[in-house]
Structure 1
């Protein structure tokens, strides 16, 4: 990251198909702050369902399956005001996304980064890893797309060893997008807030070691996560003195805690107040 330009970008937590709500919140910030956003980064569970067939390929209880807003953007009845770059979470139409394992533009200004991918945005190198971790299948290939309908939809939601190796081979990143959190980021004084939760029976079980491996290896300035539907901030210190600032975001349905805006000024990258 070496550019001397100054610009702003946004990060968004789990969208779950509520693209219109995401757009409304961020355009309101632009109007209040009188500052344009260059692009938006999203951390999975975006749910870009085009139609019922996509919905049928998603892993989720029936009560959570809804088409959402994406069809209007795919059909060009609506348009994202800025480029949106997203990774996959554990509630996605992987029957569609896995047609593009290296990533693709799925609608105008809407880009999937693939199972593991990288993009250069205004001299900012943004890397991402899609999916969540399951140790039992980590060293195994995912089922082929032809198995959809016979294999469990959940089997498509996990990253594997090959995905992580490809992400490690990216070499470096200024920003790293993950769905689940890296392990080892919960401060002891905050441990009580993570006890007995559905996805965190105890604070030391939050996140996964492979996400942390990527943070330690790529040493990004900024790590963005979703999945647990709660906002949290942490810092990971690296042996050479570099630091990775971790920002975990809530879901769009929860409101402001799902959003963050960052200013890039030369080599400096910092979060700015959403209420500006």
Structure 2
């Protein structure tokens, strides 16, 4: 029987698979309550208010919030103009108040991008970074650790016309590049496929065919317009199905389709629990709270400090893959899987030497939130940092990894 909206469900723990998941020896097992939201569509105030309502009603504390795309981090009118959507939906929304500091996110919020975004802003933080204080963007693709829980994800949606191309788009975006910039690239699928299995994977799109592993008839009753795509096996993203089969994460969360849907995808020795959620509207199933066990210090009772850290394996993958990040339409060939994995293993040694202690990997030690636009002027908002210089967070990330910053325009 499905849970009521907002109730906690327990997440089944999986063994820690790799050395790069932080270990503290003999530890207690505690848990983090993580809320998962489908599409945000700029409704941050309503989402945080709903989480607060659930906390008061059910007497628990949510530690972090995950948002599966269409976040809409619009700081000003220029950002609104860079969002691909019908004109009637081009509104500023509430994010700018979190950007300016008028408000602060009440919990750590981790987001990916969808197909209705301030794509100019998210491009600045291609490798990930703070969109606002306490709101972290996972990047166009990425993997981080939240108290040892590995969270990987990919932004955007699948479009076969742009899948094999490089990241050729340049700011300012035009009506065509405003859409192509959020289309998933094979380059990022190749990078993510090199990961060891994460606990959680976030995507905006659904993996292709996932509807066959849940209540398909129930889905069609709620969303009959899916009938044609299901018959043609075109509902969802083929590359994401490949990633699900390759990575075998414990949980996979998605948005995009504006409907709640649960499925269980079988692997040989495990399963992936898939959960898609609706957009934030009254009466819709848009949010769920899930309890994840984590390793904590061997001290009775106290809640472990919530720490967002880089994933060492992903840092190694980034060092290997960065030379292949194309800024032209032609995408340079990516190394074969065996070759790439050998390179990643070598780069892990570099990462271990560069970040010898767990605290060295804390995100805020490398990246701090910086405004790149500021203050209203007579003509709108002035830029604080030029596009040629690049976002300081991206500059800091690339310098820490000793890689070329290819994100500048």
The alpha carbon displacement at 1:144 in A equals 2.7
* Alpha-carbon distance between aligned partners in 2 of 1:195 and 1:84, rounded to the nearest angstrom: 29
Matched, 1:220 2:237: no
Matched, 1:233 2:262: yes
Matched, 1:209 2:238: yes
Matched, 1:62 2:91: no
Deviates more, 1:27-36 or 1:164-173: 164-173
Which one has a larger percent strand, Structure 1 or Structure 2?
1
- Name the structure 2 match of 1:177: 202
Deviation per CA, 1:98-117: give whole Å up to 9, x if none.
Answer: 01110001111000000100
Structure 1 residues 70 and 147, CA gap change in structure 2 (3 angstroms): closer
Structure 1 residues 77 and 206, CA gap change in structure 2 (3 angstroms): same
User: Alignment RMSD, CA only?
Assistant: 1.9
- Name the structure 2 match of 1:270: none
2:156–2:204 Cα contact (<8 Å) kept: yes
Structure 2: gaps spanning 5 or more residues: 1-13, 17-27, 296-409
The alpha carbon displacement at 1:146 in A equals 3.1
Deviation per CA, 1:150-184: give whole Å up to 9, x if none.
Answer: 64311112011111112212322100001011112
SS of residue in 2 equivalent to 1:66: coil
* TM-score, normalised relative to structure 2: 0.62
* Alpha-carbon distance between aligned partners in 2 of 1:146 and 1:45, rounded to the nearest angstrom: 20
- Name the structure 2 match of 1:21: 46
Deviates more, 1:20-29 or 1:249-258: 249-258
* Alpha-carbon distance between aligned partners in 1 of 2:148 and 2:236, rounded to the nearest angstrom: 29
2:38–2:254 Cα contact (<8 Å) kept: yes
SS of residue in 1 equivalent to 2:191: helix
* TM-score, normalised relative to structure 1: 0.90
The alpha carbon displacement at 1:24 in A equals 0.3
- Name the structure 1 match of 2:70: 45
What is the total number of aligned residue pairs between the two structures? 265
* Alpha-carbon distance between aligned partners in 1 of 2:222 and 2:255, rounded to the nearest angstrom: 15
Instruction: Give the one of 85, 103, 109 matched to 2:110.
Output: 85
1:59–1:157 Cα contact (<8 Å) kept: no
- Name the structure 2 match of 1:262: 290
SS of residue in 2 equivalent to 1:5: strand
Correspondences of 1:3-152 after superposition (within 5 Å):
4-146=29-171, 148-149=173-174, 151-152=176-177
The alpha carbon displacement at 1:253 in A equals 2.0
* Alpha-carbon distance between aligned partners in 2 of 1:208 and 1:108, rounded to the nearest angstrom: 32
SS of residue in 2 equivalent to 1:252: coil
* Alpha-carbon distance between aligned partners in 2 of 1:72 and 1:218, rounded to the nearest angstrom: 37
Correspondences of 1:151-162 after superposition (within 5 Å):
151-162=176-187
Deviation per CA, 1:51-92: give whole Å up to 9, x if none.
Answer: 111111111010111111100000111111110000000000
* Alpha-carbon distance between aligned partners in 1 of 2:51 and 2:239, rounded to the nearest angstrom: 31
Find the structure with the greater CA-based Rg.
2
